[in-house]
Structure 1
Amino acid sequence: MTDNQKKGNSWALLPMLVFLLVYLVTSIVLRDFYKMPVSVAFLVASIVAIAMNKKESINDKVEIFCKGAGNSNIILMCMIFILAGAFAQVARDMGAVESTVNLGLSILPGNILIAGVFIIGCFISLSIGTSVGTIVALSPMAVGIAETINIPMGLALGAVVSGAMFGDNLSMISDTTIAAARTQGCDMRDKFKMNFKIVVPAAVVTAIIFIVINMGNTVVLEDHYEYSILKVLVYVSVLAAALLGVNVMVVLLGGTLFGGFIGIYTNAFDIWGFVKAIESGIMGMSQIIIISLLIGGIVEVIKFNGGIDFLLSFIKSKIKRKKGAELGIGILVSLVNMCTANNTIAIVTAGPIVKDIANEYEIDPRRSASLVDTFSCFCQGLIPYGAQLLVAASIAGISSIEIMRYLYYPYLMGACVLLAIAFGIPNLKKAHAN
């Protein structure tokens, strides 16, 4: 390979620049990051990618694009997204989320209400794998707490968002975990273990902060909350099976069937309601599936045209050591996240490039998966135009800026991952090649 080939071609990155211009610039001009659909922006970028490189025929370029979109990792990731969507919707429709929230509230003493909201948020997001779903479920309750005990609304919602981002980063069925593990080529359980060691200190300190803030408050919201242990078991079983190392597709399929059985048994829905919930859940994942396919094709074309080689060459010129490469991964993912306002899309977009960087600097796949997920969730939990803060703010009728000062967990998570890079923790044994 010649030096020019090794250095790559900067123009090959044009499709990603087009995406940023179409999506980011449009969103800034309109002051609405949800006006321009991300899928449309990536479709435009796909067209540009295929139109480039006049040396190749259109048929060959389409073939290259399809090869990337049909990559086994991309297809497997899409299948997991489908099963995760089905499980999440079935569990939601049969009342598992409501029961889990009410169970937590029924056992919380008044002097740790805010810390309790954070802990409940951690458990729910860890179980259902979606930060936005957790925020939608918990925010109305947090608003009621804030009004009852006379605390800032932003504080109560800060606890909700903090808890939601904990599970978004760690959950075995979170789309960020799925994307990070698949793009880096590691087992999701191994990625969980790595993440757990990095972010748990942040979660513990966050809980202590909320306890101190709410200390002395003895308000009890209600005398009784209705919940069903049977419905809570749906999440517990999925979480336990995932931690035991059961194949994620088996876990999700089993959880969906178990949730459907309990839903029918408790009359939450009938057999056709169960089927409808599955369909709704699958369709709810359609955008991220389509985006994953488009990104897979775009990245393959960029790689063929020398764009990945250019990025690696550029990064190598700026990075001298392994720790620098790890920090570079974090910066890369964070920048993409700020541009897309979606951490899953950021991981899917940057994942292949991160994988090449990790290979170049001999970074363990478990660690690169952990870094890419943690940095994306750290960034996503703080941007005021992200779905998480916008949803929470809209439910409470306040500005997302009012919540940002109370987002203790995302701030601490960012500090913990930087410390993990600086001190090389946790130490890893040699990973088996995937």
Structure 2
Amino acid sequence: MSSFAGPSRLPNMTEVLAVMVGFIAIMFLSINVLGLPIQLALFASWFLVMALGLRLKTSYASMQEGLIGGIHNGMEAVLVLTTVGALIGTWIAGGIVPSIIYYGLTVMNPQIFLFAAFVICALTSLATGTSFGTAGTAGVAMMGIGHSFGIPLPLVAGAVISGAYVGDKMSPLSDTTVMTASLCKVNLVDHIRSMMLVSGPAILIAAVLFLVVGFFYISGDVDTSRATVAMQALETHFTISPWLLLPAVIVIVLLTRRFPAIPVITFGAVLGSICAWWAQGTGPIEAIRIAYVGNAMQSDVAFLNTLLNRGGIESMLGVVALILFALGLGGLMDRVGILKSISNGFLRWANNPGRLTLSTMLGGFFGNFFGGAAYVSLITASTITEKNYDDQGVDRRVLSRNTEAGGTITTPMVPWTDGGVFMATTLGVSTMTYLPFLWYHMLVIAISILYGYANIAIWRTKPRTEARNDTTGQPGLQAS
């Protein structure tokens, strides 16, 4: 037998269910009962999947190959995460983030703040194509402004993340958007147009919700004394200048012009170090060191200490470990045949557009829950259900739209995914506390399922079985 032998058979649904229950039990006991780090829980879950692999007579060499392959597929997100950590630290130390907060407090009306935060983050992410970059720059500033107005941070985080994922899902510059179109074999423009039918209403409704909550939750005569104190503290500890907004503009313009994210964000971190040295009086060596260790300051305003004492590559190392363990778990599950077994189950069940939509979205959520990354979820959502779309004559533009709704959108909803961990770490709010306020995400999911069961925007092609029998006709498209 080859040392890279695969499973002798696919796991049955009882075995798959046993692994899923075991995974949930390990996560619950480790985090809620024993108080262990989530990284250890994910690491332990590797061996749960390996045990099933051995039962199926899968060689260890083959499982290790799958594990390493899973990690390799998500390495770009790890590199972006690392560079964003450096950028956050230097932008705070350089006065860039403090200047954005200061001028935001000067011009922002507290009652429309949530609406403005959602729109600003949505426009930033659409222009740059990155939810991580949006949250790490505009998002951090919005958290500071919102806290100064006395708005609960989970609510602010909900507006920030909702806006950040508008572009992550819709921008032609987004890696997940391009990847989904490629996986589903759909033209990129057609993919975005299909998503607009769902995201358009979701954006409008979410914007109205944030606006209404702002007007009803925040009174017109809100006490702005906290904002005044925050502005005074910022002026005391930082040099505030409109010129310090320039690095943010440069980074956004470069990302908009489709320069690669990792070197652009790294260049932004270098600009932050230069600003810390030139504008804030930090020593040149210390300004560089901040890119690794993050910013450190002490003020009389407690929330500023919490908000501005962060960043640096060092702060992301625990997050990187978590993502690596999650990606490895996803690769293992693919190698031992768990994903293929689930795919076969969906093929028998999803026999109409509503179930087809739901199965794709469940596949995406499954990839996030067990694979820990958007890249994994997009692969599971598309590969688990693509055959059913062809067999039932449903256009692949519907597949790509549902793949994003189940994959990209659910990523920040799971605490141990790359998106969930990044948002919680960057914004300082845990996943479970901001989850109820991800209104854009919830609307996209709800509208997608509604379209499936109501047969709205479900374009048809000739079913694959008919196409094989008809060698003369060409598949035609028609909207239901």
Q: Normalised by the size of structure 2, how large is the TM-score?
A: 0.63
Distance 2:272 2:201 in 1: 33
Look up the match of 2:159.
162
Look up the match of 2:44.
44
Greater RCO, CA 8 A, separation 6+: 1
User: For residues 259 and 104 of structure 1, do their structure 2 counterparts lie closer, same or farther at Cα, with a shift above 3 Å needed?
Assistant: same
Look up the match of 1:315.
346
Asked whether 1:236 is paired with 2:249, we answer yes
User: For residues 179 and 106 of structure 1, do their structure 2 counterparts lie closer, same or farther at Cα, with a shift above 3 Å needed?
Assistant: same
- Which deviations, in whole Å up to 9, do the C-alpha atoms of 1:100-125 show, x marking residues without a partner? 22222222346635544555666788
Residue identity matched to 2:86? A
For structure 1, the residue ranges without an aligned partner over 5 or more in a row are: 147-152, 428-434
Distance 1:43 1:415 in 2: 33
Residue identity matched to 1:354? A
TM-superposed CA distance for 1:356, in Å, is 1.6
- Which deviations, in whole Å up to 9, do the C-alpha atoms of 1:303-350 show, x marking residues without a partner? 33222210110111121256644432323444676x68xxx9363654
Look up the match of 1:60.
61
User: For residues 345 and 300 of structure 1, do their structure 2 counterparts lie closer, same or farther at Cα, with a shift above 3 Å needed?
Assistant: closer
Q: In the alignment, is the contact (CA less than 8 A) between 2:159 and 2:438 conserved in 1?
A: yes
TM-superposed CA distance for 1:423, in Å, is 3.5
- Which deviations, in whole Å up to 9, do the C-alpha atoms of 1:266-318 show, x marking residues without a partner? 12643333332332332333234333433443333333322221011011112
Distance 1:96 1:193 in 2: 36
Residue identity matched to 1:145? F
Look up the match of 1:432.
none
- Which deviations, in whole Å up to 9, do the C-alpha atoms of 1:107-149 show, x marking residues without a partner? 2346635544555666788776375987775556435534xxx
Which of 408, 411, 423 aligns to 1:373? It is 408
Distance 1:298 1:378 in 2: 18
Look up the match of 1:423.
456
Distance 1:300 1:255 in 2: 33
Q: In the alignment, is the contact (CA less than 8 A) between 1:15 and 1:46 conserved in 2?
A: no
Asked whether 1:93 is paired with 2:106, we answer no
Distance 1:426 1:250 in 2: 40
Residue identity matched to 1:353? T
Distance 2:429 2:324 in 1: 31
Look up the match of 2:372.
345
User: For residues 5 and 378 of structure 1, do their structure 2 counterparts lie closer, same or farther at Cα, with a shift above 3 Å needed?
Assistant: same
Distance 1:218 1:196 in 2: 38
Q: In the alignment, is the contact (CA less than 8 A) between 1:127 and 1:236 conserved in 2?
A: no
Q: Percent identity?
A: 15
Asked whether 1:19 is paired with 2:19, we answer no
User: For residues 74 and 211 of structure 1, do their structure 2 counterparts lie closer, same or farther at Cα, with a shift above 3 Å needed?
Assistant: closer
Q: In the alignment, is the contact (CA less than 8 A) between 2:330 and 2:372 conserved in 1?
A: no
Which of 348, 361, 383 aligns to 1:330? It is 361
Asked whether 1:301 is paired with 2:332, we answer yes
Residue identity matched to 2:456? F
Structure 2 counterpart SS, 1:320: coil
**Count of residue pairs the alignment pairs up:** 395
For structure 2, the residue ranges without an aligned partner over 5 or more in a row are: 1-6, 294-311, 391-395, 461-480
Structure 2 counterpart SS, 1:36: coil
Asked whether 1:217 is paired with 2:220, we answer yes
Distance 1:70 1:379 in 2: 18
TM-superposed CA distance for 1:413, in Å, is 4.5
Look up the match of 2:474.
none
User: For residues 210 and 118 of structure 1, do their structure 2 counterparts lie closer, same or farther at Cα, with a shift above 3 Å needed?
Assistant: same
Q: In the alignment, is the contact (CA less than 8 A) between 1:161 and 1:389 conserved in 2?
A: no
Distance 1:89 1:193 in 2: 37
Asked whether 1:103 is paired with 2:106, we answer no
Asked whether 1:282 is paired with 2:278, we answer no
Q: In the alignment, is the contact (CA less than 8 A) between 2:405 and 2:445 conserved in 1?
A: no
RMSD: 4.8
Q: In the alignment, is the contact (CA less than 8 A) between 2:323 and 2:373 conserved in 1?
A: no
